[in-house]
Amino acid sequence: MRRRDFLLGTVPLALAATGARAIGPRSEVGVGRLKHGGAWDQRPEALRRLLWEAGKRTSISVARDAAVVSLDDDTPEGKELFWQPLVFLSGEGELPPFTARQRARLERHLRYGGMLVIDAPSAADPFTAGAKRELAAMLPGTTLRALDGEHVIFKSFYLLDGAVGRSRDDAHLYGVDVAGRAAVVLSTNDLLGALERDRFGTWRFDCEPDGEAQRELAFRLAVNLLMYATCLDYKEDQVHIPFIMKKKRR
Amino acid sequence: MTPHDAAFNARELVALTRLPAWVIAVVAVALLVAVALGAHATRGAPLGVRGGLLALRAALCLGVLALLLEPGLRLMATSKEPNRVVIAVDASASMAEDDDGRPRARRAADAARALLDDLAHRSEPFQPELWWFDGTARRATVEELAAFGSDALPPTGATSRLAAALEPGQGAVPRGEGAPPLGGMVLLSDGADTGGLSAALTPELREAAARVGAPVHTVAIGASVSFKDLALERVVTDELAFVRNKLTVEVNVRSKGYDVTVPLTLKEDGRPVATADAVVKDGASVKATFTFEPQRAGKRVYTVTTPVLADERIAENNRVDFTLKLIRDRIRVLLVAGRPSWDERHVRRILKENPSVDLISFFILRSTTDLTNAGNRELSLIPFPTRELFTEELDTFDVVIFQDFNYRPYQMAPYLENVKQFVEGAGGGFMMIGGELSFSEGDYEGTPIADVLPVRLLPGTGHTSTETFAPLLTDAGRSHPVTDLGELSVEVGAGGLSALPPLEGLNLVAGVREGADVLLAHPFLNVGSEPAPVVAVAEIGKGRSMAVLTDSTWVWGLPHVGAGGRGDAHRRFFANALRWLIRDPELSRTRIVVDLPDATRGVEPGSAVPLEVRTFNSRYQPEGGDKVTITLTPLDATDGTTPTVLEGTTAEDGAWRATFTPPFAGVWRARVDAKAGSGDDAKAIGSDEDAFVVRATAAEKLFSEPRPDVLAAPAAAGAGRAVDADDVHGLPFVDHKIERVHRQRTEPLWDRAWVIAALTALAGAEWWWRRRRGFA
């Protein structure tokens, strides 16, 4: 079938489904918030906000809130780790080293299909170095590489030019590939900082330098990460490529 | 007079001594020393005296040496060994062809007799030897040759193999030392070789011809007659091919008497799939090539045809049938998911990572109520090409999966009937995976999709359960390949798949359709008196269907790893499901094999076709005692032809073997249906199909064109001549000049008195003369 023929007469997706919910909490898409020995809970509301936004913007049936998970295997949070295919690791300042057992659990999670998003306040924050240290110890032989603007994460739902967060110091995300997918993604723009609201609905941090427009882009990137976690490289299927190329040219 | 009575006509001088060679050598050296001493002792003597003494001593020494060698005379009675000349006559059925009122067999017999007469009048000792050859070579007699030439012994060989006459030890060519010398071979044939021989000899046959060690002549029978024919000679293709991959089929088209362009058509199961033209030239063979992409797996029957031209001698060879086994290189799967979810994500990952799966997926990423905060250009969303997918492209898929997908928002109602036909009529596989957009929640009740589901849907929506549960393996599930999860399946005794994390949420249904099997059931929710189905399967027409009534099987993956498991149950479950949905032959419990020596080209008319059926019990083990029915249907038959039905019971090894002699030629399909048990309790095990071709006419008849070019090749390789039947006189043969000794006698020459006396006289004379001249 020719590409043109394939596309003619199709039904626009905009005429799409009504919203729906999964049948049971485990069928809802949630995220894990990784509890660690450092300042792990500096953005306590961000992921709840992300899930809410994703539920509003996409067809994903989302969980109400993020689940706290840990790398210990003898706690309820530890047992929750493998029920959360997408886990966020965030913090500020020093990241105390994981134990060998903790590293093994996280590595097993990633190798069997899990995904870890590391959100650092900035590239200079000691948390970034600590996270890189743990990745090197946990996934020896792998490389943390820059994900350029063509990576599927930047087109999994929104078409984005690069990475943003509360800051936009680095347009790149960084990733570690495991079995052909970005199992680990590192942001150094304080992505969760842009999503964080207090209980009164006020944004806790200003986005620099572009304010609310930048915050919107941060939400879009976060939604894209969630979409990548659930659809993987769907947007790199051959059928999508001509559409995305066309839209990007405009 | 026998050879033993023959007079001695040859003699030769021989040594009869039994002394070892070294003794003779030592004595010879000693004698040389004696001559040298004699020369030394006679220094200064007059030349005549010295020469005389040395001559006497040398003669004495030679005499002593000859005495030691014991010379004798061998008398022999010999005769010349005749050289065999093999006259091999083609006895294949094509030799019965009547070319302008004179059968080829008669021409060959006349030529052979002319050869015999020619050899009888030669001065060299040539011994003619008559042979027949067709598929093999065997001796013939003069009387048989006479019968061959008078139609009393018609040629009936089913094949022609010129090579049969040349194979050392197998045919007329002698092998090993002591074999009678071979002066040459003469092959009398029409050259219509059905053994694959062409003008281009194989290296093996060229070597065989050269190894004969004597000229190999060929005599073309029927070469001069007018013969017009177009023949589809040979199909060249692989015995196995992959669906949706380019397949090349080559057909050799041979022309005799035509210089035209002819159209060729290739049909698959009677449906044209490719065409080609062949520019044929008189006396030449050209290759026509078809390239196409077969779409359906299984044993397929192909037919190549070309129109029958005016004045063609043989119409039947304008068609050739052959079978091909088409297998999937990849299973083409269409996955349509109503929204992103962990279940969708894990299913996609499993399918993408499976190298045997070619996945086309469409996910609904945004619903009508979603607010993206962005214009369409800022989104990577694409249209959902429902019309193309569910009309034009549908039959290119092996399996269609609806995962938590509601069809209504996409105006897909007109296409649901296509999906039904895809399953029922085209044999496709369909799977529906649960969720709040599936089954009754997806509003499928009363649609064509409901007709191909293994479960009966409830009307309306709201039929879900959010309970957590460990599913139970049913009796069917314990032996079914879909739920063969390795060691996890063994733990059924502990109450189901308890080693796996519990599932959560279920689409409720009204029950299962008749004939469907529930593989996994709910432990406490019931539908009527039966446990609610969790996974159910069914045969739907030609296809298969599967219902997974939950969207939480993904927990058999990553969460199972977290609990210490291997996490492969989810992958294995879906891999099994795909194989079952596409009717992977390895998962069939009933298999039929039509075991032909040349499955591609089929069998000769009148040949018995061996059939073997194997059945397996639910645990996929041979058990025996199953009732088997084979229905043999001619695909080319005109209306009213009744299929042949064979019935039997499998033995303990699970096999039942039968033979079937097709009453007429054509393409036959063999379908087997197997049942376990008897009477009303009989339960269908499964069915399978195979196909085979019965050629309309024997190859000898199809390819009876005289081929002098084929005959020229072995003649050239065997340093012989390729001649016509009227030109067999004076063919050169080799006289190896081998003489056979019939009788011999040896007479010693040394044990005579005069020999001793002569030696004594020589010794005495030499001694006397030496003493007289004063030498020591």
Query: What are the tokens at B729?
Result: 């006189």
Give pLDDT, residue B621. 66
Q: Name chain A contacts of B361, Cβ cutoff 8 Å.
A: 234, 237
Q: Name chain B contacts of A183, Cβ cutoff 8 Å.
A: none
CA angle B446, B449, B452 (to 5 degrees): 110
> Above 70 in pLDDT, residue B766?
yes
Give pLDDT, residue A203. 94
Q: Render pLDDT for A21-79 as a digit per residue (tens, 0 to 9).
A: 567 778 899 999 999 999 999 999 999 999 999 999 999 999 999 999 999 988 999 99
Q: How far apart are CA B439 and CA B416, in angstroms?
A: 14
> Above 50 in pLDDT, residue B434?
yes
Give pLDDT, residue B164. 73
Pick from B338, B437, B466: which is nearest to A24 by CB? B466
Give pLDDT, residue B753. 83
Pick from A17, A158, A237: which is nearest to B367 by CB? A17
Asked which of B204-208, B426-430, B451-455, B479-483 is least confident by mean pLDDT, the reply is B204-208
- The CA-atom distances, in angstroms, between B146 and each of B118, B136, B406 are 17, 21, 85
- The CA-atom distances, in angstroms, between B746 and each of B4, B24, B106 are 15, 21, 55
**Radius of gyration for chain B, computed over Cα atoms and rounded to the nearest angstrom:** 44
Asked which of A72-81, B367-376, B507-516, B559-568 is least confident by mean pLDDT, the reply is B367-376
Q: Which of A89-93, B191-195, B480-484, B668-672 has the highest mean pLDDT?
A: A89-93
Question: CA-nearest residue of chain A to B463?
Answer: A23
Pick from B353, B382, B410: which is nearest to A240 by CB? B382
* Partner A, chain B 507-536, Cβ-Cβ below 8 Å: 507
Q: Does B364 contact A17 at a Cβ distance shorter than 8 Å?
A: yes
Q: What is the mean pLDDT of residues B250-279?
A: 91
Asked which of A143-157, B110-124, B600-614 is least confident by mean pLDDT, the reply is B600-614
In which order are the strands placed within the sheet that holds B83-90? B137-139, B126-133, B83-90, B182-189, B216-220, B722-724
Q: How far apart are CA B306 and CA B275, in angstroms?
A: 10
Q: What is the mean pLDDT of residues B529-534?
A: 95
Give pLDDT, residue A11. 34
* ipTM for this model: 0.90
Q: At B583, is the secondary structure helix, strand, or coil?
A: coil
Residue B350 forms contact with A (CB below 8 Å): no
Distance to chain A for B493, nearest Cα, Å: 27
B169 — pLDDT class (breaks 50, 70, 90): low
Position with higher pLDDT, B585 vs A96: A96
DSSP state of B293: -
Distance to chain B for A68, nearest Cα, Å: 16
Q: Render pLDDT for B313-353 as a digit per residue (tens, 0 to 9).
A: 888 888 888 888 887 777 889 999 999 999 999 999 999 88
Q: Does A85 contact B558 at a Cβ distance shorter than 8 Å?
A: yes
Q: Which of A27, A50, A70, A73 to mutate to test the interface with B (most CBs of B within 10 A)?
A: A27
Q: Does B411 contact A11 at a Cβ distance shorter than 8 Å?
A: yes
Q: Render pLDDT for A161-179 as a digit per residue (tens, 0 to 9).
A: 999 999 999 999 999 999 8
Q: What is the mean pLDDT of residues B217-239?
A: 79
Q: What is the mean pLDDT of residues A86-91?
A: 97
Domains of chain B, CATH where assigned: 3-79+741-772 (no CATH), 82-225+706-724 (3.40.50.410), 229-328 (2.60.40.10), 331-366+381-586 (3.40.50.880), 590-700 (2.60.40.10)
Q: Does A27 contact B505 at a Cβ distance shorter than 8 Å?
A: yes
Q: Does B504 contact A26 at a Cβ distance shorter than 8 Å?
A: yes
Q: Render pLDDT for B554-580 as a digit per residue (tens, 0 to 9).
A: 999 999 999 888 888 898 899 999 989
Q: How far apart are CA B252 and CA A44, in angstroms?
A: 77
Q: What is the mean pLDDT of residues B42-66?
A: 88
Distance to chain A for B440, nearest Cα, Å: 13
Pick from A22, A230, A243: which is nearest to B382 by CB? A243
Q: Which of A82, A214, A227 to mutate to test the interface with B (most CBs of B within 10 A)?
A: A82
Question: CA-nearest residue of chain A to B337?
Answer: A231
Q: Does B387 contact A10 at a Cβ distance shorter than 8 Å?
A: yes
Q: Average pLDDT of chain B?
A: 85
Distance to chain B for A94, nearest Cα, Å: 28
Q: Does B559 contact A82 at a Cβ distance shorter than 8 Å?
A: yes
Position with higher pLDDT, B190 vs B577: B577
Phi, psi angles (nearest 5°) of residue B420: -60, -45
Question: CA-nearest residue of chain A to B411?
Answer: A11
Distance to chain B for A197, nearest Cα, Å: 19
Half-sphere exposure (Cβ direction) of B58: Cα atoms closer than 13 Å: 8
Q: Which of A2-6, B562-566, B584-588 has the highest mean pLDDT?
A: B562-566
Q: Where are the beta strands (DSSP E) in chain A?
A: 32-35, 67-70, 86-90, 115-119, 145-147, 173-178, 181-187
Q: What is the mean pLDDT of residues B56-61?
A: 91
Q: Which of A41-50, B103-112, B158-167, B736-745 has the highest mean pLDDT?
A: A41-50
Q: Which of B345, B346, B347, B509 to mutate to test the interface with A (most CBs of A within 10 A)?
A: B345
Q: Which of A202-211, B182-191, B243-252 has the highest mean pLDDT?
A: A202-211
- Strands B83-90, B126-133: parallel, antiparallel or unpaired by DSSP? parallel
Domains of chain A, CATH where assigned: 26-249 (3.40.50.12140)
Residue B413 forms contact with A (CB below 8 Å): no
> Above 70 in pLDDT, residue B698?
no
Residue B345 forms contact with A (CB below 8 Å): yes
Let me know: does B283 contact B228? Beta carbons within 8 Å.
no
Give pLDDT, residue B202. 67
Question: To 10 degrees, the CA torsion angle through B305, B310, B313, B316?
Answer: 20
Q: Name chain A contacts of B365, Cβ cutoff 8 Å.
A: 13, 58-59, 157, 227, 231
Q: What is the mean pLDDT of residues B434-453?
A: 96
**Distance from chain centroid for Cα B635:** 25
Query: What are the tokens at A11?
Result: 């039904």
- What is the H or E stretch that residue B713 is in? helix B708-717
Q: Which residues contact B4 (CB under 8 A, 6 or more apart)?
A: B77, B742, B743
Give pLDDT, residue B697. 64
* Partner A, chain B 563-602, Cβ-Cβ below 8 Å: 563, 567
- Among B590, B587, B584, B580, smallest CA distance to B654 is for B590
Phi, psi angles (nearest 5°) of residue A134: -65, -40
Q: Which of A29, A226, A234 to mutate to test the interface with B (most CBs of B within 10 A)?
A: A234
